[in-house]
Each structure stands twice: as C-alpha cells, then as structure tokens.
Amino acid sequence: MAALAVLVAILALLIVPPLVSMTSYKARITHLMSESLGRPVRLSSVEFRLFPTPGFVLSDLTVQEDPAYGAEPVLHANTVIASIRLLSLWRGRMEISSVSVDEASLNVVRTAEGRWNLDPLFRTAAANSAPEPGGGAPAQAARARPLPYMEATNSRINFKNGAEKLPFSLVETDLSFWQDQPGQWRIRLRGQPARTDVSLDMADTGLVRLEAQLHRAPELRLMPVHVDLEWREAQLGQLMRLAIGSDPGWRGDLTGEVHVDGTAEAADVTTRLRATGVHRAEFAPAAPMDFDASCSFQLHYSRRALEKLACDSPLGDGRIHLAGELPGAAAPPHGSVALDRIPVAAGLDALRTIRSGFGADLAAAGTVSGKLTYAEPAPETPVPAAKHRDSVHAASPHAAPPDPLTGSLTVEGFRLSGPGLSAPIQAAKIVFVPAAASGRVEPSPAHARPQPAALEATVAIPAGAPTPLTIAARFTLSGYQLTARGQAGIARAREMAHAAGIARASVLDAVAGDPLSVDLAAAGPWMPDGAPSLVASPAAGQPVAVVPGPADTLTGSVALHNVNWRADYLANHVQIAQGTLHLAAGAQLWDPVVFAYGPVKGTATLRLPLDCVEPQPCVPSFTVRFGSIDAGALQAAILGAREPGTVLSTLIARLSPVNAAPAWPELNGTVTADSLVLGPVTLQDAAATVHVTSTGVEIAGLDARLLGGQMHVSGSLTTATGQSKPAYTLQAHFDKLKPAQVGQLLGQHWSGADFIADGKIALSGFTAPDLAASAKGILHFDWRRGAIDAGPVAGFPAQLARFDRWTADAAIANAALVLGQNQVEQGSRKQPVEATLTLADPPRATFAQPKETQAKR
C-alpha cells in the first residue's frame, strides 16, 4: 500500500502540472500579490513548478507606485519565484509563502511632506494580519492573510526625493522581509553604498548591515521599532566622494553604528563612530589621528527635535563631553561642551587633516580645558498695552539681549615648535571667552541676523622686536579670524609666515634690516580653500546643497624701515628707507617705497595682482619717480661706459644673456623724472611707459621737454640669445626746438623760429665708442626763418648766415651724421649745404664751401 501510494503521487506529479491552467492562476496570483502589497501588480507570464518546492515562476514583475509618490514603479524584477503554502490548498485557498527576486530594482521615495512610499505597504501588511473585529483566535487564523516571506538578492535600492531620483543608492543588496508572528515583522539588509554621478572605488565605500524589528501600528511613524545599523570598512576618501562628490584628500578607516528603540515619534538612539589612521593623502604623520565617539539621544521625528543629547569621546589623555537639546520650533536649542585636558596637538592634527600644506613638520604641546554653554533666549511674548503703561520700571525694548554663549576655554602650556622655527612660539596661558555682544549684529531690523557664536582670545607673542606681537583670535564653528599688530623681526616674521603656510611668504627671504611694523588680518573657513561644503536647503524636504567653500583672505599692511632688498635679477641690493606693503583681496601693493640703488634715489610703487582669469597672465605693474638725475648715473649706461653703481648700467648688464643672472620678471610700468641731465642737455619732466620682458625692454613712449621744445621717443632694447651686446632701436620726434639752445650744443649762436625734426637710429654696445661706431639711422629736420653765427669757422656756408627755410635729410653711420639731400632757401634762391657732424664729446661740425647756382623760376 505504501509503494502504491508513492507511485500514485509520482504519477500525479508528472501528469497533473501540465493539466493545470496557468491562465486562471496568473490572475489569482496577481490579485494575491496586489492585495498583500497594497499596490497594483503586473506579470507577463506564470509557470508552475514542483521542485524543489511547489510554486510559481513569475516573469517581468512590476509593482506600480502610488501616484502620490511618483510614476516610476516601486519594484521591478525580471524573474520572481513565488512559493505556495501546501496546507492552504487543503483549506480551499491558495496562499503565497515566500517571494524571491534576483537583480531587482526597488525605489524608496520620500515626499516633500515627509511621507515615505513604504508607509502604505506596512499599513496594508498590518491590516492583513489583524484579526476581524470581535473575532477570536480561530477567526484570526481563518481571516488573516500573513505577508509572505520576501527576499531580494543582488539587487539595487534607489532613493528618490519626490519625483527627483537622487544619485545615492545601495548596490549588490541582499534584503529580507518577513513576519515573525502576527503584527511583528523583521527586516535584514546587507548592501554597498554607491553614487551614480561620480567614479568610486566600490571596494572602499564599506558595507551597510541592517537588522530591524517592526510592530503593527496604524502609521509607519507610530510603529515600534528596534534597529541595529552598522557601516563598516569605509575608507574616508571614498566616503567623502560618496557624500559630497569630491575627494578633499583625507584618508583613514571609519566604522559607524546606530541603534534605535521606540517609534519615530519617540525613539531612543545610540550611536558610535570610530576612526583610525586619519591623515591627509600627501603625508603620513608619525601619529595619525584616531577617535571613538559615542552619543545617545531621544529623537522626535515630527517635531524635528532631539532631547537628552549626550556624547563622549576620549581624545589623547583627555575627554570631550557634549550635552544638550534641540527642541525644534517649540523652544530654542541649548547645550554644553566640556573639554578635559584635550591635547593641543589633536587640534593641530585635525587642522592638518582638513587642510593641505599646513605645517607638516610642526609639533604642538599644551592642553585645553573648560566648559562652554549655549542657550538662546526664549522669544519675548508681547506685553498688553495697559500692563506696559502701569509698569514704570519696565525693561527697555532696545536693551541688548544676553549672550547665548557663556563659559571659557583655557589653553595651558601652549608651545609650537618645528625645524623651521629657530625658537618655539609659546604662551603660558590663553583664555578663550565668548565674543562680546557689541561685536554682534542687533536683531531688531527685520533683515538683520545675529552673528554666529564665537570665541575670542588675545595673547602677546614675542617676535624678535622690542615690542611683542599682539595676536587676537576669533573662532566660530565655520571659520577663523586672526589679527596681528605690533613689531616683528624680519627673520622671525619669515619663520612664522612659512610655518603658517602664508602664500608668497618667500618675499621676506630677500629682506634684511630693522623690525617690521605689522597690522594684518587673516580670515577663512576651517575647510580648505575651495573645498565643497554641505549647506541645508531652505525648502522643506529638499536635499542638502553642495556649494564651494570660501577662500582664505589676508589683508592689512606691513611697514618696512631701513631695510635692504636683494633680488636675483639685480647685481646689488636696494636700500629701502621706507616702504609699506598693503595686502588686499585681489592684489599686493607696495606704496610708497623710498629707495636708493647706488647713487640713484627715488620713490616707487609696485602692484602684484593675485586673482587673474586664465589664460591672461598676472603681470605686475610699477611706477618709479626720480627727482633730478645727473648724467653720472645715466649717461654712462645710455652711451656705453659701464660705471659700477649706476642703475641703468647694472640693469642693462643683467639683461644681457652673457651673464648667468636670472631673467627679469615681466613688468609693466612708468618711469618719471623731474630732470634728467645728459651732459649739456637736460630733459625736463621726463615720463616713459615701458614693458619689461625677460629679453629686454619695450619703450611704448618717452615724453619730455628738451631744448625748449618737446620730444617723443619710442623703441626697444633687446638682448637676444647669443648676442653679446644689447641692441637699441629708437624712433624720435622733436617739436618746437629752440634754435638758441640747439646752437649752444655746437658752440654757435643760432636764432630764428622754432624747428622740428624726426629720426630713426639703431645701435648696440655698452661704451660710447661702441654705440657711436654701431649707430645707423636717418634724421630729417625743417627750420624756417633762421640764422647761424658760427664765428671764425673755416668754410662756413654764407647762405646759413640768414635764410628763409632749411630742410635736410641726414644719414647716421660711422660715428658721424652726414647731410644728404638738403636745401637752404633765401628768397628764390635754393642751395644745398655739405656738412658733417662728428658724434663725439663735444660734437664737431665741419662744412664744405658750396657752389653758386641760379635758382630756377
């Protein structure tokens, strides 16, 4: 009989399945799943199977979303296996015992009002498992439709904010959801965090594990829950890329734990965050920063409130304790933080971790202790008018509100040392106290907001000068403000600037002399320059926004007195009697600078732009003003002799590629002089616009008063590679020259009307003979109604004694200027003149007797 029963069962298993109509079961299964999930369900096909357990294989399963949460399906899977409860068939009904999916896609949606699309699912499950009203245990067993065991493997969970799909998701997720007993469910999840809009090393984003228990309630926020959430093996750099989309350069391993008991309206939450080996990517410190922080609080989701917040974290040999409450809109927040012998080195390590290039070789000593309490005053209630009139001693409505931040922090035994500091920077005691109310914006205007709570401290730091530097510090949660006023020795100021990582601190490397007078202010965020930060969105329910962080600023002035400055491209040092460096947001400005370079003295300004838009270069600009310059300082450089100690001779020598000195930086500027004495010639009110390059100087224009008239010169000085001598190319225009002053140069008496001249010349060399011998060019002049009294000069042309007009073209070559085509007009007579001007000191003019010719009518 047993064998016969087995045989009948086998024949039934082989014969019955093909006879089962899948069409009727497809509609029934779709209805059962839709009823269990509370969502419309669509299937493309259903197949019946017997092994390993009886059930159905569903193809192309789609669970539709409630239109209130969006149009995208809440769940989609290509293949689903639904197993049936055999005992339910004996009762004349079919129940699904489990639903298994692989490579499914689940969408978790949160609306702007704070509702989740999973809330109706739990309400449906609770309703299906609830007993009929008035029914006992048999009725409950007969009527309850328990939620099937649901599991998903190798699936993906997407997160949406309304209709917008967020870039965050869980991939390679294994999810299980089942009912332990009527009215109680269990959730188990294991997944890997991912982000779709950035490239991540998925092996380093860590693993998220979740174990949760939920009990029946009318709404999801009222369901009693027990949640154990753990995030392990997360690398800090990849975690930051996951959170903010970029890697700020942090490294280390993080593990986080969250435990929740209660409901969303009143939940007891405990958390623990552990980090090991935290450091920046560019260096590995001897002692990486580690921490282990534990917190507990009560969460009230609807009120957005936290109560009984308490956090503890050991740090070094000290401890941090944080306590407070965030009551939400019902009352202002309040809290306290207590520090017990926290090492200053931990703060330095934290600063180096979030900022690159900040004192990697610095070492800090000292401890911080104290307690700060923050309590915003409760909003004032309006006082009835009658009561206000009766109150004679009523408080003034304009009285300053009390400071919300009270307490103090004390730094003892502060000491900052390092290889770059010849002596440690130290202070026995520094006390940080809350900022005074006078430094905060009054909240009376509708548009005004109080400044964030801040801590302030002032300390005197010796800096190698007769009087110390006074350092005032102001710290907020978002950034810092530092001011330094007083005197500092140049060597000490250089050390402190390099230790603080101040950009362009190398400018002090070339300065030596008396102490500096400092009045500087620095401000910036704790996060590095330009690093993205998270900012809460003003719209309710919207995600946080990622915005660029602000940049550091350094403003103020530094005054120099009696210092020497030496640059690589100068042969000698520059003596600065007085100079002031002004630091602004977009530029550095030296103004004024009273200097002496050899025998030349003057004043100068120099502007160094800092913020330039690519590809435009940041070209510094300068102005130099001289009083009266003697030919002893300039003539030798211009005409050739390289006398040591003259400014232009030194500059020209440095521009020559024969020398191994570094090239000049690119500069734009103007040079002016009240008077420039060139032997018997004096240029008055000279002003030149120049552009300095690594291979020479371009003279855009040199204007001056010369010989009673005006002159305009343009040209260039070049020192090409392989060229042993500097080469000059000049173009000049002379207007309204006075004949008397021109004749005086040649030892003659000239008179008559003003005349004009134009010329071009090219020459090279350092010495006067070199310049004269290499000079080649042309000269043209036009002189009307003139007369020349040359005295006893042999062969002097008589027609030059008085004439109506003299025009001439001359050629410059072989150290001489030779008149070419020219005409001397006397009435209707026109005669040429033969003359040669030797370029010497003094210049000499020789004439040839002209032949008499009859002018043509």
Q: Look at residue 361 and tell me whether its pLDDT is greater than 90.
A: no
Secondary structure tally for the chain: helices H, strands E: 13, 45
**What's the pLDDT at 279?**
78
Nearest to 304 by CA among 536, 595, 54, 5: 536
- Half-sphere CA count of 26, side-chain side, radius 13 A: 13
How many Å is the maximal CA-CA distance in the chain? 162
* 71-78 average pLDDT score: 88
Nearest to 562 by CA among 549, 547, 550, 574: 574
- Outline where DSSP puts E strands in 566-695: 574-583, 587-597, 600-609, 621-629, 667-678, 681-693
The residue whose two tokens read 């550091």 is: 552
Confidence at 341, pLDDT banded by 50, 70, 90: very high
Contact 267, 261 (CB under 8 A): yes
Contact 732, 713 (CB under 8 A): yes
Highest mean pLDDT among 289-298, 562-571, 595-604: 289-298
H or E stretch covering 440: none
Task: Quote the DSSP letter at residue 851.
Answer: P
d(CA 281, CA 271): 28
**What's the pLDDT at 203?**
77
The one-letter amino acid code at 365 reads A
Q: Look at residue 132 and tell me whether its pLDDT is greater than 60.
A: no
The residue whose two tokens read 């690519």 is: 614
**What's the pLDDT at 322?**
94
SS3 of residue 627 by DSSP: strand
Return the bridge partners of 758, or none.
Answer: 733, 780
Pairing of strands 305-315, 318-326: antiparallel
Chain mean pLDDT for the chain: 79
Question: Residue 129 has which token pair?
Answer: 């498992």
d(CA 736, CA 749): 17
Question: Residue 198 has which token pair?
Answer: 């950035």
Q: Determine whether 695 is exposed, middle or buried from the number of CB atoms within 10 Å of its CB (0-12, 13-18, 19+).
A: middle
* 269-285 average pLDDT score: 82
Return the bridge partners of 186, or none.
Answer: 178, 213
* 302-325 average pLDDT score: 90
- Half-sphere CA count of 602, side-chain side, radius 13 A: 22
Distance of CA 399 to the CA centre of its chain: 40
SS3 of residue 614 by DSSP: coil
d(CA 812, CA 538): 79
d(CA 781, CA 787): 15
Contact 191, 176 (CB under 8 A): no
Task: Quote the DSSP letter at residue 220.
Answer: G
Task: Quote the DSSP letter at residue 116.
Answer: B
* Percentage of residues in the chain having pLDDT higher than 90: 27
Residue 304, sorted as left (phi over 0), alpha (psi -120 to 50) or beta, turns out to be left
Question: Residue 200 has which token pair?
Answer: 């991540």
Long-range pairs for 640-649: beta carbons < 8 A, 24 or more residues apart? 640/765, 640/766, 640/767, 640/768, 640/769, 640/770, 640/771, 641/766, 641/767, 641/768, 642/766, 642/767, 645/572, 645/598, 645/599, 646/598, 646/599, 646/600, 647/597, 647/598, 647/600, 649/766
**What's the pLDDT at 392?**
45
Confidence at 145, pLDDT banded by 50, 70, 90: low
The residue whose two tokens read 């019902």 is: 330
User: 565-574: per-residue pLDDT in tens?
Assistant: 877 766 667 8
Long-range pairs for 198-205: beta carbons < 8 A, 24 or more residues apart? 198/167, 198/241, 198/242, 198/245, 198/246, 200/238, 200/241, 200/242, 201/235, 201/238, 202/171, 204/233, 204/234, 204/235, 204/237, 204/238, 205/234, 205/235, 205/238, 205/239, 205/242
Q: Look at residue 59 and tell me whether its pLDDT is greater than 70.
A: yes
Contact 459, 427 (CB under 8 A): yes
CB atoms within 10 A of CB 644: 11
Question: Residue 42 has which token pair?
Answer: 């669509």
Report domain extents, the chain.
23-131+145-197+208-215
**What's the pLDDT at 631?**
52
d(CA 320, CA 410): 14
User: 200-250: per-residue pLDDT in tens?
Assistant: 777 788 899 999 998 887 777 788 999 999 998 888 888 888 888 777 777
Contact 95, 65 (CB under 8 A): no
Q: Specify the range with the lowest mean pLDDT, choosing from 238-252, 305-319, 538-552.
A: 538-552
* 467-476 average pLDDT score: 91
User: 628-684: per-residue pLDDT in tens?
Assistant: 887 556 544 333 334 444 444 444 454 444 444 566 778 899 999 999 876 667 889
User: 420-456: per-residue pLDDT in tens?
Assistant: 888 999 999 999 999 864 344 444 444 444 566 789 9
d(CA 315, CA 309): 19
d(CA 653, CA 645): 12
The residue ranking higher by pLDDT, 199 or 372, is 372
